[in-house]
Structure 1
Amino acid sequence: MTLLNALPGRTRERLMALSRPVSFPAGTRIFEDRGSADRFWVIRTGAVNLDLSGHARDSGALELLGHGDLLGWSWLVPPYTWQLGAEAFSMVRAHEFDAVAVRALCDEDPVVGLALHRRVLEVVADRLQATRIRLLGMYAPHMSASALPVE
């Protein structure tokens, strides 16, 4: 379920009042790791690669985001610094949200704040699980069975 569809109607309306439409041509760097996370997006059309570009060992694309996906969650967690980079894989159209205004709305209206925080946390948890699976796929063939994580 997409971020906007997961929010209750009134919460979605209040959040959308803070958005503006934007577009990014293919190949556009949308944000860089360790940059200031002062906004976020919900993708309407197109695709965006999340990456670790700029690190000593460039890992390339980590995840491909598309229609309805939340692009950026670091705006919600101090010190409001991006944890990854993002680049438009194809032409992207999105709703852009000013992080300061959205955080102020969350503080002003705890119902909106709780709904948005819960949904963003679900996105973060899903991406963490997907990253864990990718890492296991990359490193598991090189590890002994006793070194694999056990839950």
Structure 2
Amino acid sequence: MYLQQSDLLWGMDKEFVQKFIGSGMKETHPKGFKLFQEGEPAEFFFIMVKGSIRISLGEHGRTTYLVNHAGEAFGWSSLVGMKSYTASAQCLKETTFIRFTKEFVDEIVEEDPVNGMKFYKRLAGMLGNRLIHSYHLEPADLSDGLEYSFGSGKDIESYTTG
């Protein structure tokens, strides 16, 4: 999947998408790499290229979300006025993503408010889907050995491998 076709950037002007993607730093990290910790300053926003990242909460690292589809966004705390990340992120296997600074995203959406509004509406939709999903989880569901991904509004289950 090309990132231009991801849910987050779908329907935006080609120039906006090219500038957006072109400003990011592509990174690849090994299994076990901790991208950010809950409570650390939220300075970056990320879009998955390939791999798998566990998003977890709390002292015991309860998995709340699995980022594993090209084009999925994570690290959004930096874009919604939060000073620190609300969860932790760790690579479950070798993972490639594009990292964007909060300042750049703020700048590009101010320069192009029409596409900026589309960007934030899509981001809000993705977050809404994750929130709705979390309402339906029972405590037992969170420890059933499954990871859930709802980046595009579709219910997808995948087994994790050690």
Q: Give the structure-2-normalised TM-score.
A: 0.75
Matches within 5 A, 1:2-151: 2-5=7-10, 7-54=12-59, 58-68=60-70, 69-135=72-138
Q: State the Cα distance separating 1:136 from its structure 2 match.
A: 7.3
Amino acid at match of 2:64: L
Cα 1:113/1:80, change in 2 over 3 Å? farther
| Structure 2: unaligned runs, 5 residues or longer | 1-5, 143-162
> What residue identity is the alignment partner of 1:64?
L
State the alpha-carbon separation in 1 of the partners of residues 36 and 11 from structure 2. Answer: 25
1:6: Cα distance to partner?
Answer: 5.4
Structure 1 residue ranges, 4+ long, deviating more than 6 angstroms after superposition: none
Contact 2:7/2:122 (8 A) holds in 1: no
**How much does 1:2 deviate?**
3.2
Displacement after TM superposition at 1:102 (Å): 1.1
The percentage of aligned residue pairs carrying the same residue is 20
Structure of larger gyration radius: 1
SS in 1 for 2:9: helix
Shift of 1:59: 4.9
1:102-146 Cα deviation digits (max 9, x unpaired): 11111222123101111110111011111111137659xxxxxxx
Calculate the aligned-residue CA RMSD, in Å.
2.1
Q: Distance in 2 between matches of 1:19 and 1:122?
A: 22
- CA separation of 1:39 and 1:134: change in aligned 2, threshold 3 A: same
Match of 1:146 in 2: none
Residue type of the partner of 1:73? W
Report the alpha carbon displacement of residue 80 of structure 1 after superposing the two structures with TM.
3.1
Q: Which has the higher helix share?
A: 1
Change (3 A) 1:88 1:104: same
Instruction: Please state how far the C-alpha of 1:98 moved relative to its aligned partner.
Output: 1.2
The aligned amino acid for 1:34 is G
Q: Distance in 1 between matches of 2:73 and 2:98?
A: 10
Per-residue Cα deviation, 1:62-94 (whole angstroms, up to 9, x for no partner):
111112211211111123321111111111001
Letter in 1 for 2:39: R
Unaligned runs of 5+ residues in structure 1 are 140-151
C-alpha deviation, 1:17, in angstroms: 2.2
Q: Give me the whole-angstrom Cα distance separating, in 2, the residues matched to 1:6 and 1:135.
A: 35
